[in-house]
Amino acid sequence: MNFRLFASFILFLFLFHGPAVFSYSFSEVKLKCSKTPNPQPCEYFLSNSPNYGPMLNDPDFLKVSIKLALDRAMHANLNTKSLGTKCRNKLEKAAWDDCLELYDSTIRKLNKTISPCSQEDAQTFLSSALTNLETCRAGFLELGVSDNLLPLMQNNVSKLISNTLAMNKGVYKKASYKGKFPTWVTPGDRKLLQTSTPKANVVVAQDGSGNYKTVAAAVAAAKSSSGRFVIYVKAGVYNEKIEIKAKNIMIVGDGIGKTILTGSKSVGGGSTTFASATLAVVGDGFIGRGFTVRNTAGGKNHQAVALRSGSDLSVFYQCSFEGYQDTLYVHSDRQFYRECDIYGTVDFIFGNAAVVIQNCNIRPRKPPAGTNTITAQGRTDPNQNTGIIIHNCRVTPADELKPVLSSTKNYLGRPWKAYSRTIFMKTFLDGFIKPEGWMEWSGNFALKTLYYGEYANTGAGAATGGRVKWGGYHVLTTAASVSDFTVGNFIAGSSWLPKTNVPFTSGL
């Protein structure tokens, strides 16, 4: 090899990948990486990266792989931040802003995975990290702008995280959660969370009778709180955009239709889906109780989110979510909804969280184009521990849909991503659901790789004889076949939900 060419190659590695410490043998790297879903980026970066630690066995290799994914995510994050000046218009700037937040979240999730945690927690954090990168990319695509601003390394970061998901699942053993409190619950919180009417730290009231007149101002005050921070929001209509980043926040309203949080951002109005949410929650351990969240952009403006949640171990109880397309964005992490009302039209329960929706009313509205799809689950990797589980709910038409039922098509869902996973179990399905039950996204896309299931549903729309014949669709007939999708198993609910004072059914 030409000496100058070789020297240039070494300089390139140093500048773009940091000082290389070639401590892993090529044969060792090749053997280990061959067991992953994406061996090429694994081989390349481990062969040209600092020593991340020993790779003697599978757990050691998993640790090394997570550190590698974190290192590459940090490089990509720096690249993302440097691209701000290249945004040519407001749409590119909107998508870029999302990516800044999502990359920061990915790095936090990977750091949490490196810290001591259970393998079940690790699978959740890794799943969320991968979802964040997909959401970043989607923001550019849905606004119809070029994704050339995205770092070239994003695809490799996604592949490296996908490798860790596969490895972590391979050594995965369910931990016992009996008697344990989740990380966001401190001993001083236990009594507070077990009371039916927790004492508020601050009160929000439009008439000036509380501490604040806006919810956003009260949320800002909660940043300095280290324990559970309870915000009581009195009855009224609060037209504002609210983002909750602090942990352990609880918002209590005066009830559905009384305390109303409302907004109107939408993709049609120049926002990304991610940024359109009236209420966005990312701080872990959020509890919401007794309020309505609306997005009033209307169906003509396409994606317009009422609630977006990426809060791990979060709960919504006796709340209402009202919108049209993309009403409830269950973005990531573990979530639980109980006795809530959910209104919408197209894909109005969507995202890639591990979520159970239990004892809720699901109400399709009059769609702008004649078709309603209740769910659009977004699992992109077969090893993500995510899915939408709808348990013991009621699916009935909203009042505005009833007069036009004969001219509309109503489906349980469609596969937004390749490994879309949705289960309806022990749920009442009214007769307006189409006999085939489910709708294609685009031709044959995902029909064999998705996992859709129905178990012991009731109502005129629950008959499965005319359902789709896709390879990934299943009529489930035994309790054992759905036990993994119960609150107790799917989101380990028995370990943390009792402390929230929200009723739940752990099993079927």
Active site residues: 347
Give the integer Cα–Cα distance in Å for 408 and 391: 25
DSSP state of 35: T
Q: How far is CA 185 from CA 194, 246, 467, in A?
A: 12, 14, 44
Give the integer Cα–Cα distance in Å for 166 and 63: 13
User: Are 41 and 156 a contacting pair, CB within 8 Å?
Assistant: yes
Checking DSSP bridges between strand 279-281 and strand 242-244, what pairing results, if any? parallel
Give the integer Cα–Cα distance in Å for 153 and 73: 8
Cα four-point dihedral sign 183, 186, 187, 193:
negative
Give the integer Cα–Cα distance in Å for 422 and 419: 10
Give the integer Cα–Cα distance in Å for 254 and 182: 28
Give the integer Cα–Cα distance in Å for 264 and 262: 7
DSSP state of 224: G
User: Are 247 and 238 a contacting pair, CB within 8 Å?
Assistant: no
Give the integer Cα–Cα distance in Å for 393 and 339: 9
* Among the listed residues 360, 359, 285, 287, the one whose alpha carbon sits nearest the alpha carbon of residue 327: 360
Structure tokens at 130: 């991968």
Cα 320-322-324 angle, rounded to 5 deg: 155
Q: 3-state SS of 72-139?
A: HHHHHHHHHHHCHHHCCCHHHHHHHHHHHHHHHHHHHHHHHHHCCCCHHHHHHHHHHHHHHHHHHHHH
Give the integer Cα–Cα distance in Å for 334 and 377: 14
